[in-house]
Amino acid sequence: MLRKFFRSALVIALTILVSTPAWGSIYVDITPTYKGAPGNVNRLYFKDSIHPAIGFTGFVLSKYTGISQEAAAAGSVFADAFCDEPDSPNCKVSYGSINILVPPCAVGSLPTAVCIRGLDVADPLGNFQSAILDHEVATPKLAASSTLKTPAGGGISVWKLPTQSASNVNSVLGVAISLAFDVSRDHVAVLKDFHARLISADLKSGNYRLPENLAVDYFPTLGRSELRGGYPTTGCEWTEAGLCAVKHEFTDGHRFALTMQMDNRLTGWLFGRMKDTSVTLQALSSTTNLLRVEGSAINVGAGQADISSADAQSDSQVSQLLTNICKGAALKGWPESTYCVSVLEQGDSFLFTSPAGEYVTKGLPEGGVVPVIQRFLTSAPEQNSQWEIKGLPGAGRGCLNDPATLMGLVTTNSMLYSPGAPSFVDDSLVYQVAGAHLGFDGALFKGTYDLAMRSETVRCLYPGFTTAPIKATVSVTSSDGTAQNVATELVNERDGWLTLSAKNFTFSSPTIRIKLTQDAAVIPAVKPAPMVSPSPPVVIAVKPAPAATAIKAISCVKGKTIKKVVGVAPRCPAGFKKQGK
């Protein structure tokens, strides 16, 4: 079961005067946030992160395998960031978190190993071909822990495309799958988060190297900790000796399939950035499942809301929201003399609801942040193609909540989305999304929504369903109450999973409702046997047998020879005479 901890929301607040992030930082890249922001507006920037569920620790270790432990030193948050033997006395993981980058499977990997089994890439005709594992980035590794029951961790795995040409000879696919564990004070590791991401990249040569002297430093002026490697990493998805992996945008609709031997503590609901999804899951061992996720890459809009002082002064809810975010982050002088820029999660808990105790929505009505900022929301001027899956911190209810199994996968290209499973209201699955009307390129942004869920979950929601085919009706209602026309397709029900999709809806803040139905079973009428009138008795005339014919015997003589001839009309042979004649 994936759960949130540390903080209920991630909000990073900065003044406009903050300089570019320090070298080696792997924190959220907020350069676009303030780089293009006017000097007289407050900007709320919505961007996906690596580990939305676990707060700062996940960001510090999101690109590396390692251990982050609470430090006793004043002014420091993390210590002992890396050690390679978690069961060693030198490691002493008593409280903190462990981030595992899942390595590729080796030739002799057992079914109990947590590893990447394979990556498949579809050709233009839709036929899958296997990508070729090239190498694993040599960042710190971590042995499996028999005490904590955590798997071994490695680095990002780099895969060559199935077909290389002169135009893509330097193109690779990086696979970064991370598992984040929270280690409690009683020495128990609990899986808190999961994130799997494909990275399309071009390898660029230059003065680059692997991270060295990695250290976690706390910066009071920024209000955060950063993992630092002592060299520039801006613009690189990862670095190696002499190489920088520069992100290369996916072609929209390019299809991939990722197969993983996965820890079976990965349960509940997953969220993804892809479309036309397909999921298969089967048990491998008592601790692992074989999980295959197939889907096509999509463009996901990063969003921003620019709010001026005049906007805030004319709307008390807008003013309250900015006060919550900016002053709550200890920006001195707010709101009189400082404009703030803040990064918020695209799937945070306060977007569509106002959770109790959440400081971002303090003083705001039910419905969360989206109704307050919707009119200011625009697409950030940057393309953002993705293929990724991550754990959802929010569990479903009733039939949608089974902590012992993987329930389903929700995927969308929407800028903002509900951070949890769909809700089940009035016999319909309901899901909320939001976004800007236009995309990063100024064109009308068309939404996609895909749902893959276990067939047994569907039949739990609809107890009367049989094994007969299921139909889906998807309705999309705009924030003003009008209905939209969408293309709906029940893709398949196969191998115990049902998948469906809705496409081509528009924004600002639509609500998606899915109602599943099944035709009533038709029982063929059994026709009674036709009534047959009794036939008259059949009389068969039997002729009497003819009277038996009398058999006669005579004696025939020829000289001294006598023959007896028997028959109905006996006659003597030639040369014989009847005796006594």
Q: What percent of the chain has pLDDT over 70?
A: 70
551-558 long-range contacts, CB within 8 A, separation 24+? 554/578, 554/579, 555/579, 555/580
Q: Which of 91-105, 149-163, 220-234, 470-484 has the lowest mean pLDDT?
A: 220-234
User: Strand (E) positions, 330-427?
Assistant: 340-344, 377-379, 385-386, 388-391, 406-412, 416-417, 423-425
Residue 541 lies in a domain: no
The answer on 259 and 283 residing in a single domain is no
Confidence of residue 298 (pLDDT cuts 50, 70, 90): very high
Evaluate if pTM is beyond 0.85.
no
Cα 350 to Cα 354: distance, rounded to the nearest angstrom = 5
Per-residue confidence (pLDDT) for residue 330, from 0 to 100: 58
Same domain flag for 76 and 8: no
The band of 542, judged by pLDDT with boundaries at 50, 70 and 90, is: very low
- Whether residue 293 is contained in a domain is answered as no
Q: 67 and 93 in contact (C-beta within 8 Å)?
A: yes
Domain boundary among 346, 379, 412: 379
| Rounded percentage of the chain residues whose pLDDT exceeds 90 | 23
Cα distances (angstroms) measured from residue 527 to each of 120, 531, 532: 54, 12, 15
User: In sequence order, which residues have a C-beta less than 8 Å from that of residue 520 and are 6 or more positions away?
Assistant: none
E strand or H helix at 59: helix 56-61
Sheet holding 561-567, edge to edge: 561-567, 552-558, 577-578
Query: Token digits for 125?
Result: 């005709």
pLDDT tens per residue across span 38-61: 667 888 888 876 433 333 333 344
Is the distance from CB of 159 to CB of 132 less than 8 angstroms? yes
Cβ partners under 8 Å of residue 376, min gap 6: 44, 305, 306, 307, 311
Backbone angles phi, psi at 502, to 5 degrees: -130, 135
Tokens representing residue 303 in the block: 């969003």
Domain membership of residue 485 as a residue range: 267-287+394-532
379, 410, 432 — which closes off a domain?
379
> Do residues 92 and 239 share a domain?
yes
CA 329 – CA 338 distance, rounded (Å): 12
Q: What is the pLDDT of residue 290?
A: 96
Instruction: Give the mean pLDDT of 1-15.
Output: 34
State mean pLDDT over 9-37: 32
Average model confidence (pLDDT) for the chain?
76
232 pLDDT more than 60: no
In angstroms, the first-to-last Cα distance of the chain is 127
Q: Which residue has the higher pLDDT, 419 or 422?
A: 422
User: Which tens digits make up the pLDDT trace of 139-174?
Assistant: 878 889 898 899 999 989 999 988 766 567 789 999
For residues 2 and 27, which has the higher predicted lDDT (pLDDT)?
2
Same domain, 28 and 59: no
Secondary structure string (H, E, C) spanning 436-475: CCECCCCCECCEEEEEEEEHHHHHHHCCCCCCCCCEEEEE
pLDDT value of residue 225 = 44
Among the listed residues 153, 184, 178, the one whose alpha carbon sits nearest the alpha carbon of residue 59:
178
Say whether both 246 and 372 belong to one domain. Answer: no
Cβ burial 26-35 (10 Å sphere, 16+ → b, else e): bbbbbebbbe
Same domain, 196 and 326: no
C-alpha separations of 452 from 277, 294, 389, 410, 465 in Å: 7, 11, 13, 7, 18
> Mean pLDDT throughout 503-527?
76
pLDDT tens per residue, range 104-131: 999 999 999 999 999 999 998 889 999 9
Cβ burial, residue 275 (10 Å; 0-12/13-18/19+) = buried
Tell me, yes or no, whether 538 lies in a domain.
no
> Does residue 450 lie within any of the structural domains?
yes
The answer to whether residues 196 and 249 belong to one domain is yes
What is the predicted pLDDT for the residue at 281? Answer: 92
How far, in Å, CA of 418 to CA of 429, rounded? 13
Cα angle 429, 435, 438; round to 5: 130
Among 326, 345, 379, give the residue marking a domain's end: 379
Indicate if the pLDDT at residue 568 is higher than 80. no
Residues 247, 119, single domain; the answer is yes
Residue 543 lies in a domain: no
pLDDT greater than 60 at residue 71: no
Indicate if the pLDDT at residue 32 is higher than 50. no
For 378-419, what is each residue's pLDDT tens digit?
A: 988 888 889 999 887 656 678 888 878 888 999 999 999 887
> Higher confidence at residue 395 or residue 351?
351
Is residue 552 classed exposed, middle or buried when 0-12, 13-18 and 19+ CB atoms within 10 A define those classes? exposed
> Cβ contacts of residue 512 below 8 Å, gap of 6+?
430, 431, 432, 433, 449, 474, 475, 476, 502, 505
| 399 shares its domain with 461 | yes
Query: Contact, 84 vs 96, CB < 8 A?
Result: no
Task: Report the alpha-carbon distance of residue 274 to residue 390 in Å, rounded.
Answer: 12
User: Position of tokens 């029982």?
Assistant: 523
Query: What pLDDT score was predicted for residue 372?
Result: 92
**One domain for residues 61 and 43:** no
Low-confidence winner among 254-258, 373-377, 399-403 (lowest mean pLDDT)? 399-403
Residue 292 lies in a domain: no
* Helix (H) / strand (E) containing 370: helix 370-373
* 297 is a domain residue: no
Give CA–CA dist 306/227, Å, rounded.
30
How many structural domains is the chain composed of? 4
Element holding 321 (H helix, E strand): helix 316-322
More confident residue, 557 or 202: 202
Q: In whole angstroms, give the CA distance from residue 318 to residue 438.
A: 23
Copy the structure tokens of residue 316: 């008390």
CB 500 within 8 A of CB 486: no
Q: Does residue 28 contact residue 51 with C-beta atoms inside 8 Å?
A: no
Report if residue 232 sits inside a domain. yes
Tell me, what's the pLDDT at 119? 97
Same domain, 414 and 467: yes
157-to-101, 132, 139, 196, 229 alpha-carbon distances in Å: 9, 11, 11, 12, 20
In this structure, the answer to whether residues 356 and 448 fall within a common structural domain is: no
Interval 360-373 mean pLDDT: 89
